[in-house]
Structure 1
């Protein structure tokens, strides 16, 4: 193999990573439950932040709409940052009941494959019964991993 052939192979693999990264965007987010909520999408359109005013024992739901603009399925890691008093009860990538494919891969990380187009996820949270009432912040990062091509 010549040096030029090696360079071409490296360039091609780098382009695939960029393609996957650019294919993923958070286009909308809604929050249900809790007393008062605020949500925003990050500047790079792959992160969101939710602030919620809630009492102990409350449950609430965050529903981001994710756009996969690639032509193929896109593997995505979902990293959820919550205070200790908030637990993730469920993450569902098929609210319509077509078959949930989200798998927990770490304490605060989940993996799924998104089909091309828009997908609305449901992230269900619950605040501990022993938590003091007040405002809490949650962050959710969506990291593209690869496309199926």
Structure 2
């Protein structure tokens, strides 16, 4: 049987895809919490909280220490830094693309404005003919 390996960043984004887990991480950013303390604000059982914690542990986002019957959880920022680097790359990519698009749209807008000004300007009538300097073009010649 072929075992598929999941890239570590995939497990991080999977863990972050759930709002409850994101809120747990936010709580852990303020300091260590027990499983009970993490479960309480979410009105969930310890078993349900433990499942979320296992996903966070699997992604390397938290570390759990067991002291007797107490499970103490601590935030591990390393995987978040990796996710941030990944997102920053694409932020720069899209920012540069959008800057190019903005420049092109501004150039197009400037050209359109210039063409509108030309269309709006009154038609110039031909300059009056000076009979002393210009020969007549008629049948007399």
Shared fold by TM > 0.5? no
Indicate the structure whose relative CO is greater, using CA pairs within 8 Å and at least 6 residues apart: 1
- Work out which of the two has the higher radius of gyration on C-alpha atoms and give 1 or 2: 2
Higher helix share: 2
Which one has a larger percent strand, Structure 1 or Structure 2? 1
